[in-house]
């Protein structure tokens, strides 16, 4: 399966799920989704559908706007007050849906409020409702957690573990011999380019260009981008691809770069598990995921460049504020480095800054 088919298949699945969810939602949501189709991805609309389903369920159960969610109308939407939405956010701290109890943290609440706000904003702009009360509700304050990332020595230990099987049992080592070249290439690619896990899984053999040490990825929203890699990454990829070329069990016409032991495109879950396996040996107190490896790369890149816009571009962040997390993660380093930059008096020998 090539990368276009891979992403098309995922979009088709998302579209089918959206269609199923629309049957559970008020009729006007379909009009809304058609209106925002050209500005959003199928995954964004699918997440909106999930979040709006909780919101409308709340309106029916707690605010009694209708007997069932599909019976809600735009007139009901117009009747929703800012207080109703604020109570909805409070309700999300501990709520029941379909017999299961759930809870939302600040970030999850903010995401659901964003979905509600976008819906109100759309129909208010279309003059379908006369007031946008969702715009009056303040976003939950999100307390940023410290970014979990690997330190330089931990990166080296992780790669050594994947390369040698250090710290593994005899049974694990036997299995490890079959996958170590692939696993090292995956870890090096994460740590050397900051690639997303979905981008890595979607890579094909022909996406890799060793003449320019670059590869093509399909980013969020379907946009294509060229990323460049170092000699260290190139060596790991060459070794893995050379090993693949000598493996006669790989089906002819299989384009996927990273394969499972069944010689099919590796799954996101399998990549998550292999990262977890090695990181548990090296850093048992840190919960390391592929995204944490991406954060490790972003932090290291900022340390080297001191340019947050370069980091945002390489990581594929549309909003530089997303990238500021990497800046915040090393703010202590920066504060320490500038501690002696401002002098209050001249040195005893007369040296000092005289220009103002």
Residue 263 token pair: 């010689």
pTM (2 d.p.)? 0.60
Q: Which CATH class is domain 152-337?
A: mainly alpha
**Least confident window among 27-31, 134-138, 149-153, 197-201:** 149-153
pLDDT band at 172 (very low <50, low <70, confident <90, very high): confident
Q: How much is the pLDDT for 333?
A: 60
Backbone angles phi, psi at 60, to 5 degrees: -75, -45
Is the per-residue pLDDT at 250 higher than 60? Answer: yes
CA 129 to chain centre: 34
Q: How much is the pLDDT for 235?
A: 95
201 or 299: which carries more pLDDT confidence?
Answer: 201
Q: Which residues of 314-331 are buried (b: 16+ CB within 10 A; e: fewer)?
A: bbbbeeeeebbbbbebbe
The reply to whether 152-337 shares the fold of 3-136 is no
Overall average pLDDT of the 57-71 stretch = 89
Is the per-residue pLDDT at 3 higher than 50? Answer: no
Model confidence over 311-325: pLDDT tens digits? 888 888 877 777 776
Q: How much is the pLDDT for 148?
A: 80
CATH for 3-136 (1.25.40.10, 1.10.150.130, 1.10.3470.10, 2.40.50.140):
1.10.150.130
Residue ranges of the domains in the chain?
Answer: 3-136, 152-337
Is the per-residue pLDDT at 192 higher than 70? Answer: yes
Do residues 294 and 192 make contact, with C-beta atoms less than 8 angstroms apart? Answer: no
């Amino acid at each position: 399966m090539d990368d276009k088919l891979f992403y098309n298949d995922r979009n088709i699945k998302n579209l089918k799920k959206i269609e199923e969810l629309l049957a559970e939602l008020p009729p006007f949501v379909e009009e809304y989704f058609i209106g925002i189709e050209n500005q959003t991805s199928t995954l964004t609309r699918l997440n909106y559908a999930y979040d709006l389903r909780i919101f409308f369920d709340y309106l029916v159960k707690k605010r009694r706007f209708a007997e069932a969610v599909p019976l809600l109308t735009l007139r009901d939407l117009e009747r929703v007050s800012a207080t109703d939405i604020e109570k909805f956010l409070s309700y999300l701290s501990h709520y029941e849906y379909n017999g299961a109890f759930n809870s939302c943290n600040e970030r999850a609440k903010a995401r659901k409020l964003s979905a509600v706000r976008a819906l109100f904003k759309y129909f208010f702009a279309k003059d379908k409702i006369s007031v946008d009360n969702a715009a009056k509700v303040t976003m939950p304050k999100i307390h940023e957690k410290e970014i979990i990332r690997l330190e330089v020595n931990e990166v080296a230990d992780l790669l050594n573990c994947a390369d040698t099987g250090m710290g593994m049992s005899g049974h694990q080592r036997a299995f490890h011999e079959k996958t170590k070249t692939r696993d090292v290439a995956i870890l090096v690619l994460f740590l050397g380019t900051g690639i997303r896990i979905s981008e890595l899984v979607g890579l094909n053999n022909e996406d890799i260009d060793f003449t320019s040490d670059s590869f093509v990825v399909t980013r969020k929203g379907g946009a294509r981008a060229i990323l460049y890699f170092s000699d260290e990454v190139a060596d790991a990829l060459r070794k893995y691809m050379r090993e693949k070329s000598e493996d006669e069990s790989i089906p002819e016409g299989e384009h996927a770069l990273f394969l499972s032991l069944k010689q099919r495109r590796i799954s996101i879950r399998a990549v998550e598990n292999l990262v977890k396996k090695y990181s548990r040996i090296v850093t048992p107190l840190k919960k390391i995921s592929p995204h944490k490896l991406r954060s490790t790369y972003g932090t290291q890149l900022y340390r080297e460049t001191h340019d947050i816009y370069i980091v945002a571009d390489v990581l594929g962040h549309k909003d530089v504020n997303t990238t500021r997390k990497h800046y915040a993660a090393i703010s202590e380093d920066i504060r320490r480095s500038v501690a002696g930059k401002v002098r209050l008096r001249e040195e005893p020998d007369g040296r000092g800054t005289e220009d103002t």
